[in-house]
Amino acid sequence: MSHPASLLRDRNPPLTTSARIAGLAWIACGSVAAFTVENLWLDGWLRRRFHRIPPLVPEPLGGTWALALAVLAIVLVFAAVCQIILFRDRAFPAWRKVLGGVSLFLAALLCAAWLMVTSGSDLTVARMLQFNLRSVTLQWNASTSLVAGYNVYRADDRKGEYRRINKALVKGLIYIDKNAESGHKYFYVARAVNYQGKESVDSNISEIDVP
């Protein structure tokens, strides 16, 4: 007759190496997804509801932003290596391989979206391939009031119609306009936006000649 402890061990077999690797890949993809989703969608909502919560979105193109990007890249590479190992294991269930691949693909998409939004880019790939486009880096001083972010406006004439050029609210104090055409002169202003969605008056006008 088997000992009860022996029966208990039989019912709970130890995890295989592939199962452990799959778990690590899931943790890696889940971490990337959690961070990027918080930065892209939850951060603004949380700060509107709870004003004392500090922003978790790093300043565009700053040191913290570069560090966050490097960590995201390392985690994605680690998850990709795990998936390669799993795909080479013929004994590992095919459905778990597919599920892991899909999770890695979605995590990579979220990371790409995070990169474009937090770096201030709002262009499609097709428009970025146009050879006559140049980039203009804009920077302004922080508002003395508590704000949710900033909007950036551009016009072709100092007294002309200023149009908003950022799709998502700019969280930091830097914005890169990558849709500026070579040989043109542009005029830029920034407006602070509070948590009720109201904008401030225009900042000082910045006049830029694009070479």
Tokens of 162: 């200023």
Rg (CA), the chain: 24
> Do residue 143 and residue 192 come from a single domain?
yes
> Do residue 112 and residue 154 come from a single domain?
no
Provide the mean pLDDT of the chain. 84
Contact 55, 129 (CB under 8 A): no
> Do residue 104 and residue 169 come from a single domain?
no
Band of the pLDDT at 28, cuts 50, 70, 90? Answer: very high
Domain carrying residue 178: 125-209
Band of the pLDDT at 11, cuts 50, 70, 90? Answer: low
Band of the pLDDT at 195, cuts 50, 70, 90? Answer: very high
Provide the domain count of the chain.
2
pLDDT in tens, 86-139: 999 999 999 999 999 999 999 999 999 888 878 765 433 333 334 456 789 999
> Do residue 129 and residue 104 come from a single domain?
no
pTM score of the predicted model: 0.56
> Do residue 42 and residue 109 come from a single domain?
yes
Angle at the Cα of 39 (from 20 to 206), degrees rounded to 5?
145
Instruction: Give the CA distances from residue 194 to residues 46, 53, 197, in Å, rounded to whole numbers and listed in that order.
Output: 14, 15, 5
- Position 56 scores a pLDDT of 80
Band of the pLDDT at 55, cuts 50, 70, 90? Answer: confident
* Domain termination residue (choose one: 118, 143, 173): 118
pLDDT in tens, 126-175: 333 344 567 899 999 888 889 999 999 999 999 889 999 998 999 989 99
Mean pLDDT (whole number) for 47-56? 71
> Do residue 18 and residue 111 come from a single domain?
yes
- Position 77 scores a pLDDT of 96
- Position 129 scores a pLDDT of 36
For residue 12, how many C-alpha atoms fall within 13 Å in the half-sphere facing its CB?
Answer: 5
Tokens of 188: 């830029």
Band of the pLDDT at 17, cuts 50, 70, 90? Answer: very high
167: domain CATH number is: 2.60.40.10
* Domain termination residue (choose one: 101, 118, 135): 118
> Do residue 93 and residue 151 come from a single domain?
no
Mean pLDDT (whole number) for 18-24? 93
Tokens of 14: 């130890």
* Domain termination residue (choose one: 118, 134, 154): 118
> Do residue 113 and residue 74 come from a single domain?
yes
- Position 117 scores a pLDDT of 78
> Do residue 75 and residue 152 come from a single domain?
no
